[in-house]
Amino acid sequence: MEAKAHLAFRWTEAPFPLQHPPTMDIHRRGSGDNPPPPPPLSQPAPSDLKLKQVRLAHPEQSLPSPPSSNGASSPVERDYFYLRSLKECVEIYEDENRGKSESLAMLSDEEVVLLADNGKVAPHALEKLFGMNELERAVRVRRAIISRSPATKTLESSSIPYENYDYSRVIGACCENVVGYIPIPLGVAGPLNVNGTSFPIPMATAEGTLVASTSRGCKALNAGGGVSTVLVGDAMTRGPAIDFPSIKVAAQAKAWVDSAEGYAEMKAAFESTSRFAKLKSLKTAMAGRTMYIRFATTTGDAMGMNMISKGTEKALDAMQARFPSMVVLALSGNYCTDKKPAAINWIEGRGKSVVAEATVLKTTVGGLCNLNVKKNLIGSAMAGSIGGFNAHASNILTAIFLATGQDPAQNVESSMCMTLMEPTNNGEDLLCSVTMPCIEVGTIGGGTVLAAQQGVLEMLGVKGAHPQQPGKNAQTLARIIASAVLAGELSLLSALAAGHLIKAHMAHKPLAGRHSCCLCPCYSG
């Protein structure tokens, strides 16, 4: 008689009658006519722990439990079953009379893992194979496949969540080879008055005190009348690198792009790809026989990288008709510049360029102004910083980026910020501002399609595309971010200034009580 392999599995559903002969050619625990007795339920084998994570799509069609001699399943037998052999699984999966999704529905998760381990199923294609109605199962099976590797064996039973998530928003848009999702705590600072409108400040972060600190800054800014913002630029950029046979031909191409005729032709080709993409400028540069063109364009309420890339490709096609010897080396030649610190972004701007300003009443003006100059301006200059003339703009911006579905890697240039502080009203009050030339945000596309992130955008009143004024929602989000950064800057600098002054204050007047700084309480000794 054929040797049988016995595997343990605890049922969570009603038992069903035997449908197929229990045969299997892997995971053998014994051989012979009779399988060895199962291990005690209180001490499952390591493979049992993996199998207990498996749920069957259609248990009546796969992995039947073996019956007892009288045809009924005993209590012990109900807890165990046999996996089918690789040959049987392959025959079911490759049956030409069924589609792949239908065949996979007849197999258990563990049998699909068996197929994947033997190269019959591509793990990266599980969503396509299972179908849109079984996306969570695809994620679950992929976790099981990865868990079969010794280095990643804990994934299947880990605390990384995967259930009850809308993967239809993820597939083909946000992530590949999905094995779950990472929850991040979401807090709300504020509210903060921005241009006369009160906004909550959503912040997804694992940094304790960040939300509370930003809230203190919001309170101080609101007391002075809130924040005023101006949008001084709005243009996403893409900078391809193009090779020419010689510097002479490259110079001719540069002159043509810089001419009114060349710009008009490139603009027409670029804007033919989208009703929202409007080319604003072309900036050219040469390095040897390589030419760089920095396309700057408005992109509506989208952050716009895909939109501008499509338009740039079309414009380069028009250019190549004039200069057939040119070779496009890269659609992005780092002249953009995306996700890297660059002086060109700091000077020219990228995305939304916003300046936010507010007056803070009755605070320690001299101490804050001195600290801001010595820390944010001189200290950053000593470090050779590019756009880093601030205390912690990236903290606030990145937390809002994560909460609203922005690309977190773009915090590199988006958090470029100069914080300025000066006395006003005869030195009684503080005038503070942040200048942020590269806030790269959108309210459609990318991570904004995810349900939770859409909920946050809806809370701010900027979800999706603006119905009357394309681009206004994304611009409003950029204004909110700059204003929140100003609140965070004020709060942190006040805390730093108070900490320094407290030491001196305590040394000379240990019983003086609370410091006059409105944001940072200090205590008597």
Contact between residue 301 and residue 442 where contact means Cβ atoms under 8 Å apart: yes
Contacts 24+ apart (CB under 8 A), 29-35: 29/5, 30/5, 30/6, 31/3, 31/4, 32/3, 33/1, 33/3, 35/4, 35/5, 35/6
Catalytic annotation, pick one of 50, 375, 463, 505? 505
How far is residue 270's CA from residue 265's CA, in Å, rounded to a whole number?
Answer: 9
Query: Which of these is catalytic: 339, 362, 429, 472?
Result: 339
Given phi > 0 = left and psi -120 to 50 = alpha, else beta, which region is 199?
Answer: beta
- Buried/exposed code over 258-275 (b: 16+ C-beta within 10 A; e: otherwise): eeeebeebbbebbbebbe
> One of 271, 313, 407, 429 is an active-site residue; which one?
407
Is 95 considered catalytic here? no
DSSP H helical segments within 60-134, as ranges?
75-78, 86-93, 100-105, 109-117, 126-130
One-letter amino acid for residue 393 of the chain: A
- Give the whole-angstrom CA distance, residue 198 versus residue 397: 18
- Side chain identity at residue 397, one-letter code: L
Is 407 labeled as catalytic in the residue annotation? yes
List, as one string, the DSSP characters of 425-472.
TTTTEEEEEEEEEEE---SBSGGGGSHHHHHHHHHHT--S--SSSTTH
Known active-site residue 33: no
CA distance 196 to 208: 29
Longest dimension (CA), the chain: 100
CA distance 494 to 364: 8
**DSSP 8-state secondary structure symbol assigned to residue 511:** T
Given its phi and psi angles, is residue 63 left (phi above 0), alpha (psi -120 to 50 degrees) or beta? left
Q: How far apart are CA 225 and CA 499, in angstroms?
A: 27
Residue 446 backbone class (left: φ over 0; alpha: ψ -120 to 50; beta: rest): left
Catalytic residue among 91, 102, 166, 207: 207
**CB distance 354 to 418 below 8 Å:** no
Indicate the pairing of strand 7-8 with strand 197-204.
unpaired
Per DSSP bridges, beta strands 388-389 and 417-424 are parallel
- Concerning whether 48 is annotated as a catalytic residue, the answer is no
Tell me the C-alpha distance between 501 and 482, whole Å: 28
- Reported as half-sphere exposure (CB side, CA atoms, 13 A), residue 229 has a value of 30
Give the catalytic positions in this structure: 207, 339, 407, 505
